[in-house]
Every structure is written in structure tokens, then in C-alpha cells.
Amino acid sequence: MRIISKDKYIIAGIITLGIFLLGLFLGLAIEGKRVNYIESVSRKQNLEFSSLQLQYAFIDQLSQEKNCLAVQKTFEQNINSLESTRIRLENFDRDATLNKNEFDILKNEYVLAQIRYWLLAERTKDLCGSDIVNVLYFFSDEKECGECEKQAFVLTYLKKRFKDKLLIFSFDSKFEQEPMTPLLKNTYGVNKFPTIVVEGKPKSGFQTKEVILKDICSYYREKPEDCIQNGSPS
């Protein structure tokens, strides 16, 4: 009986080890796919951004404002792609338990991509007279920001309503491996979360849909339907 009992323990141990190793290998495979996906998207966005820079340089240097519409369309498509990547990156980062260094590098690249597109968006307004509003959104973790999730929900709703006329760039205040994060926070006096910056004007603490709507609508030359319906000033 003792021999049989010992054999059972050995078999159970082997099975447990097998399950553990299988889980580990599956985890490594999934994590590898995550990293590969974000790396490929990052390379693609870098190429698209370089192309956009050249297009705007062409317009700027040769006074080809007539081509602004075509270039702006490309810009809007790339911004939408960047937003999709942000959502995927947040989901990956939330689930990630391995390859933390790789994720930090990729997140760093994403932060820089957002800043490049934001600066380029400001340039399009000067160069092509684009009727868009830029919003910077600074968030933190649940311990420091209990209302960040609610603020993100409001901003996501407004983005869906205004589409390409509203550009929202989100920054994780905790991610200070990239020096631009504290630089932006210092520039706009961000020390409380959430904080949104609408066209260079910061507001700290949770902002309701109505408050943000009033702010962004004041910057449009041609008022979108949502601004008219909510009685925003012309």
C-alpha cells in the first residue's frame, strides 16, 4: 500500500509540473506575440509619421496649400490608427507579467509617437487652417486617481461624437522613463489627476461632459452638430 501511495504522489507531481510548464510556455508564446505585434505597429507608425513630415514639408516649402486636404486625410487615418494602438497597448500592458523591459521600451515609443502627432496637429492648424481641437489627458493609477476611469469614459464618448475634429492624446503620468512626460507635466502645471489640457489651457480634477463640451466648442470656427445642439456659444 505504501508503494502504491508513493507512486500516486510521484504521478501527481509529474502531472502538476507538466501543467505548470505548459502554462509557462503558453504564457511566453502569448507574450511574444504581444511584443511582436506592438513592434510591427510601432515601425509602421514611424514610417507613416516620416511620410507625413515630408508631405507637410512639401506643402510648407512650395506653398502647395491646395494639397492640404489630401494630406489631412492621411493624417486623420494615422491618428485613428494611433488610437487603436493605444487601446491594444493598454490591454497588453494590463495583462503583461513578462518582458517588462520590452513593454517599457514600446510604451516609450508610443509616448513619443503621440507627442510627434500632437505637434504635427498643431502645425496643420497653422499651415492648413485645420478646424480641429487638441486635448491632452494626463492620468494616473487608481490609488492616485479614483476618477481617471470615469474621465477616460467621458473623453472616449466625446471622441466618438466629434471623430476627427477632436484629437485626444493620453499620457500616463507615472511613466517618467520618457523625459517628455515630466516636461509636459511641468509645462502645464499638472500635479493632480485627472488633468485635461484643452488647446493649452489646463483643468485639474474630474471634468464633466458638459464642461469639456463647452470648452472644446468655443474653439471651432464652424460649430459641429453637438455644439449647436448643446447651445454652445458661436
Give me the amino acid identity at 77.
Q
- Side by side, which strands form the sheet with 201-204? 166-172, 133-139, 195-198, 201-204
Q: What is the pLDDT of residue 178?
A: 86
Give the CATH number of the domain where residue 199 resides.
3.40.30.10
CB atoms within 10 A of CB 169: 22
pTM over 0.85: no
Is there a single domain that holds both residue 170 and residue 104?
Answer: no
Question: Can you give 2-19 as a three-state secondary structure string?
Answer: HHHHHHHHHHHHHHHHHH
Is there a single domain that holds both residue 215 and residue 138?
Answer: yes
**Residues 157/209, Cβ–Cβ less than 8 Å:** yes
Provide the grid cell at 99.
518582458
Report the candidate in 75, 194, 52 with the shortest Cα–Cα distance to residue 135. Answer: 194
Task: Give the DSSP H or E segment for 226.
Answer: helix 225-229
pLDDT in tens, 105-149: 777 878 887 887 888 788 778 878 889 999 999 999 888 999 999
Q: What confidence category does residue 54 fall into, taking pLDDT thresholds of 50, 70 and 90?
A: confident
Is there a single domain that holds both residue 5 and residue 107?
Answer: yes
Please compute the mean of the pLDDT values over residues 90-110 and round it to a whole number. 66
Please compute the mean of the pLDDT values over residues 84-91 and round it to a whole number. 65
Share of the chain above pLDDT 90, in %: 34
Q: How many independent structural domains does the chain possess?
A: 2
Q: What is the pLDDT of residue 209?
A: 95
Residue 183 falls in which region: left (phi positive, over 0), alpha (psi -120 to 50) or beta: alpha
Q: What confidence category does residue 186 fall into, taking pLDDT thresholds of 50, 70 and 90?
A: very high
Domain final position from 108, 130, 152: 130
Domain final position from 130, 157, 191: 130
Is there a single domain that holds both residue 108 and residue 149?
Answer: no
Is there a single domain that holds both residue 83 and residue 120?
Answer: yes
Q: What confidence category does residue 3 fall into, taking pLDDT thresholds of 50, 70 and 90?
A: very low
Is there a single domain that holds both residue 110 and residue 139?
Answer: no
Range of the structural domain that residue 119 is part of = 1-130
Domain final position from 101, 130, 159: 130
Is there a single domain that holds both residue 96 and residue 141?
Answer: no
Report the candidate in 150, 206, 195, 147 with the shortest Cα–Cα distance to residue 169. Answer: 195
Is there a single domain that holds both residue 4 and residue 117?
Answer: yes
Is there a single domain that holds both residue 186 and residue 123?
Answer: no
Is there a single domain that holds both residue 78 and residue 174?
Answer: no
Of 103 and 13, the structure prediction assigns the larger pLDDT to 103
Over the chain, what is the mean pLDDT? 77
The rounded distance, in Å, linking the Cα atoms of 120 and 115 is 8
Please compute the mean of the pLDDT values over residues 148-169 and round it to a whole number. 92
Is there a single domain that holds both residue 3 and residue 119?
Answer: yes
Is there a single domain that holds both residue 17 and residue 49?
Answer: yes
